[in-house]
Every structure is written in C-alpha cells, then in structure tokens.
C-alpha cells in the first residue's frame, strides 16, 4: 500500500516566519516520503532544536523533535532498534555542524542507514540571528558585530571527508529537484546526506532567496559521482554552488556490519541462551 503526500501532513500550523525557506522543504518532505513509498507508521523522523528542527511536528510519522545537536545519535539508535523502519534525521546547520558536529563526523564514518536533511540557512534562526558554522566569513550578525571571524564550513565537503556514502546539495526553492534528491537519499543504502540551502528571510534578509538562486548551478554533465576528488572539487568553487548528487558510493553500512557480527556471534557455536551465558560463571568443582 502506498501513501500520498497529503497523508504525510499534520494539521499543526508551522511556527515559521512568512517566506521562510523551510516551508518549501516541508513540502518536499511530504512529497518525497510518498514518492519513496514510505508508510507513515513505518517512518521515524528525528530532529534536533532550531526553526528547521520543528519540521517533524508537521509530518505525520513517528516524530521526535529532540535536543540541540543530538538528532543523529537518536536516529542511529532508532534505526538499530527498528531496522525495518525508514529513519530520517533533519535539522539546521547549527544543530548539525556546531553542537552536533561530532555526531555528524561519526554517523558519516559509520555509514549509518539513515537519510539526513540539513536545512542550511547560514545562521542560527531560532535564537534570532547569530553566526553559525556555515555563515560566510566577515558577515555581520547578532553575535558578530565586527564581522564573523571564522571560515565557513561546506557541509558537503565535510560529509565526504568523514565518509558519508551519498552526498548531495539542494535548494529549498526548487521543490521538484529537492523532492527528487530526498527520494534518492531515502532509498540510498547507507548514510545519505542532503544539504538544503534554505533561506532565513528574517535574519539573512529577503534577498537571500534570490542570491542562492543566482549562485546555484546544476551538477556538470559527466561528473563522476564515485570519485572523491571530483566530488570534493565541486564543493569549493568560489562564486558558484553546485546542486545535485555530488558523491555516491556503495559500501557496507552499520547495519550490514552488525548483521555480520550477529552471524559471527551465533556462528561460533557458543552460548546463545541466557542459561548458557550464565553457565560460564559457574566454576567446575
């Protein structure tokens, strides 16, 4: 049985500002879950804290809007506990790269079987406009009166470097394209990271939307998505930002590894019952 995008909607009204890019992301999520053939009761959405992290409240699945920075470990636990469920983590750039940076590194490395959508507005929206890891260097924000001193991170470059097996970039303004990327991410076997440029009209200005549209470029024809180096090159092009699937490889996932471990654990002909395990503590007379 399949479900329509509408069946993934809840009747809770988003708290987002009029014009926020996250509305379009939400729209894409509804469509992508349907397109990927997910069932609401067999889908788990986990987020951290932020404007973007409010998203699970607006999607009819098992949803958890958790703690700032912790979406990935929670999604990992959920996936290992319920491997048959589709598990998707969502959140903001600050949530995923500042306080959540370490989990991003290790979830990528372990190739956890989940999709992760990062709504990247280059700012801390919910706390009202402080610089974050993707805020361009030099930008003045509420917390950087004299300009942001820190070099900004390209989330896709970081994901590739950390070992994510599927890495793509999208733009919330392009609902069709984003929906397609989300669908592929959900279907990917392993950790699929999608960086979605999603304007914050309130703290990055009404212009951000146009600016992003202007600088995005589709993936160049003939790009070899299996090449780390080629993918990396598409992550630092100065002016432009490439959207599409930058990197895609097939390698064992965390679940694959755990299945293999279970095989070995049972295989060694050893104790696989409570009683047998206990016997090991009984000294022979």
Partner 1 sequence: MSKDVTFSIVGSGGDGAVVAGDLAAMACAAVGLHVIKTEAYGPQIRGGESSSTVRISPVPIAAQGDASEALIVFKFSDFARFRSEMPLAEGCIVLHEPDDPPPPELASYRCVPVPFAQLAKDAGAPGAKNIVALGLLAAMFNLPVDSIRTAMRKRFRKRDAAVIDANFRALDIGSAFPSPRVPREGQGEGRPRLLMSGNEATAFAALHAGCSFFAGYPITPSTEILQLLGEWLPKIGGSCLQTEDELAAIGAVVGASFAGSKSMTATSGPGLSLMSEMLGLSSIAEIPSVVVNVQRGGPSTGIPTKSEQSDLFHAVYGGHGDMPRVVLAPCDVEDAFHTTVDAFNIAEEFQLPVIVLSDQLIAQRRETIDAASLVHDVVQRRVPHDPDQSYQRYATTDDGVSPMTVPGIAGGMYQTNGLEHDEQGRPSSMFITHERMNAKRHRKLEAIAKKYPLFRRFGVNDPEVGILCWGSSAGPVAEAIEAMNTKGAGVAAFVPRILAPLPLRELQAFIDSCARIVIIELSYEQQFHRYLRSLIALPRDTRVHARSGGKSLSAIEVIEATAVLEEVMA
Ligand X SMILES: Cc1ncc(C[n+]2csc(CCOP(=O)(O)OP(=O)(O)O)c2C)c(N)n1
Hunting for tokens 């009404």 — which residue is that?
206
Q: Are 160 and 109 in contact (CB under 8 A)?
A: no
Site residues for partner 1, 106-145, by CB under 8 A, read 106, 124-128, 130-131, 133, 142-145
Residue 15 interacts with partner 1 (CB under 8 A)? yes
Chain-centroid distance, C-alpha 177: 16
Binding range to ligand X, per CB under 6 A, among 11-19, 86-94, 248-256, 267-275: 86-94
Distance CA 93, CA 101 (A): 10
Task: Name which position in 5, 99, 161, 230 contacts partner 1 (CB under 8 A).
Answer: 99
Query: Closest approach of Cβ 187 to ligand SF4, in Å?
Result: 28
Residue 125 tokens, joined? 């929206």
Judged by beta carbon, residue 135 or residue 165, the one nearer Mg ion is: 135
Task: Between 92 and 163, name the residue whose CB sits nearer to Mg ion.
Answer: 92
CB of 163 to ligand X, least distance (A): 20
Of 221 and 285, CB closest to partner 1 = 285
**Measured from the CB atom, is 8 or 124 closer to ligand X?**
124
- Return the bridge partners of 92, or none: 119
Stretch that binds partner 1, among 165-173, 177-185, 238-246, 276-284 (CB under 8 A): 276-284
Distance CA 36, CA 19 (A): 27
C-alpha 271, offset from chain centre:
39
| DSSP helix/strand/coil, 251 | coil
């Amino acid at each position: 049985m399949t479900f329509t995008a509408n069946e993934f909607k809840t009747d809770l009204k988003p708290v987002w500002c009029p014009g926020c890019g996250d509305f379009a992301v939400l729209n894409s999520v509804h469509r992508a879950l349907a397109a990927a053939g997910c069932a609401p009761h067999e889908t788990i959405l986990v987020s951290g804290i932020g404007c973007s992290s409010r998203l699970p409240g607006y999607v009819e699945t098992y949803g958890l809007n958790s703690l700032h920075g912790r979406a990935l470990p929670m999604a990992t636990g959920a996936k290992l506990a319920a491997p048959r469920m589709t598990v998707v983590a969502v959140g903001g750039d600050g949530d995923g790269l500042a306080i959540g940076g370490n989990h991003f590194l290790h979830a990528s490395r372990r190739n956890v079987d989940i999709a992760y959508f990062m709504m990247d507005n280059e700012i801390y929206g919910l706390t009202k406009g402080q610089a974050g890891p993707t805020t361009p260097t030099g930008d003045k924000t509420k917390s950087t009166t004299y300009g942001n001193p820190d070099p900004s991170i390209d989330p896709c470059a970081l994901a590739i470097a950390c070992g994510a097996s599927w890495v793509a970039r999208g733009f919330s303004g392009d609902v069709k394209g984003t929906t397609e990327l989300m669908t592929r991410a959900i279907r990917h076997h392993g950790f699929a990271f999608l960086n979605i440029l999603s304007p914050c009209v309130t703290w990055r200005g009404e212009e951000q939307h146009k600016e992003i549209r202007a600088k995005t470029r589709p993936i160049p024809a003939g790009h070899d998505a299996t090449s780390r180096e080629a993918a990396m090159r598409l992550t630092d092009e100065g002016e432009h930002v490439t959207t599409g699937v930058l990197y895609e490889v097939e390698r064992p996932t965390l679940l694959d590894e755990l299945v293999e471990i279970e095989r070995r654990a049972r295989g060694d002909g050893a104790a696989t019952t409570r009683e047998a395990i206990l016997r090991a503590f009984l000294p022979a007379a």
